[in-house]
Amino acid sequence: MSRIVRHDATVPRIVGVSNAIRKVIDLVDKVAQSDCCVLIEGESGTGKELVARRLCLKSPRKGSPFIPVNCAGVSESLFESQFFGHVRGAFTGAEQNMLGLVRTADGGTLFLDEVGEIPLALQPKLLRVLQDREVMPVGKPVPVHVDTRFLAGTNRNLRELVDAGQFRQDLYYRLNIVRIHVPPLRERPEDVSALLDHFGTHFAERYQQTEVVIEKAIRSLLTDYPWPGNVRELAAWVERLYATGLEPSLLATMLLEEGAFASDPKASEPKTLEQAERHAIVHAMEHTEHNQRKAAELLKVHRTTLARKLKSHDLS
């Protein structure tokens, strides 16, 4: 659900050359020095946590803990205990004192990811912490002061949730001191090429391989692709390039076929490597009219390797 991150001195890089992403970076760097709440909105996969990390590392709290927590994964019955802590014996199973997320982040930053998923009945408890800067541990009715900066992220429109009565207006205003909207990748296609280079360098180092050259024609195809999974989907595509060793042209064709025009939105989600391998083999066999020698050449594997994989995937 959450983890403590103690940063090194490296400020996370938000990659892009578009005016849209440059505006995001400029606003992030401007508000990082203040201690106000920041609401980071954007679709899944756009990099909201990356923005939160940059806010933290550009702030005076950069040497203190950064704790991201997925609010959708917080148990409603244990919300107060998980966020505010508890004392030993406060309830069945409370065998020792626990600080809770807010106090663990004391002096640092707590990133409330998917804050719109917090149940309506629990939102006043979070609002009180934001307003009073103190928590009440379960089993100890004595307020404890905290010095924690709060950042919030959401892939939903909180304003619409407020209008629908699903999110408290007062909490929305408290979180929305500064709003940063991270645009989806389809709205900044000029960033695709820069991201391909960035992740290419990253995964070449991880997989200890020479960086793969992605030709201009392939980059053009990938730039036109809508990337429904945003930067996360693009990163997965580049990793698949290094993990499978397939030609960029083949993987790009597969991406366009299975994602851009799929009626099922889940069809464009990144596949497992095993699924990607099977799909690549099927595609290569169809592309070469089931000529194993030509398919093996296309896949950059030995013909005997292809024969073995055809058998393992029940394709022979």
Q: What is the pLDDT of residue 310?
A: 83
Mean pLDDT of 233-259: 90
**CATH code of the domain made up of 19-183:** 3.40.50.300
Q: What is the pLDDT of residue 283?
A: 76
Q: What is the pLDDT of residue 168?
A: 97
Q: What is the pLDDT of residue 91?
A: 67
In this model, does residue 90 exceed pLDDT 70? no
Least confident of 88-97, 186-195, 245-254, 260-269: 260-269
Q: What is the pLDDT of residue 309?
A: 81
Read off the pLDDT band of 243 (50, 70, 90): very high
From 285, 287, 223, select the one nearest 255 (Cα to Cα).
223
Arithmetic mean of pLDDT over the chain: 87
**Rounded-to-integer distance, Cα 290 and Cα 298, Å:** 12
Read off the pLDDT band of 267 (50, 70, 90): very low
Q: What is the pLDDT of residue 261?
A: 45
List pLDDT tens digits, range 106-136.
Answer: 999 999 999 999 999 999 999 999 999 998 8
List pLDDT tens digits, range 60-78.
Answer: 999 999 999 999 888 887 8
In this model, does residue 5 exceed pLDDT 50? no
**Rounded-to-integer distance, Cα 21 and Cα 79, Å:** 35
pLDDT greater at residue 21 or residue 143: 21
In this model, does residue 313 exceed pLDDT 90? no
In the chain, pLDDT over 70 holds for what percent of residues?
A: 89
pLDDT greater at residue 4 or residue 231: 231
Q: What is the pLDDT of residue 259?
A: 64
Which whole-number Å values give the CA distances from 275 to 229, 279, 281, in the listed order? 18, 6, 10
Domain with CATH 3.40.50.300 in the chain: 19-183
List pLDDT tens digits, range 142-192.
Answer: 888 999 999 999 999 999 999 999 999 999 999 999 999 999 999 999 999
CB atoms within 10 A of CB 186: 14
List pLDDT tens digits, range 30-56.
Answer: 999 999 999 999 999 999 999 999 999
In the chain the first and final C-alpha atoms are separated, in Å, by 43
Q: What is the pLDDT of residue 277?
A: 73
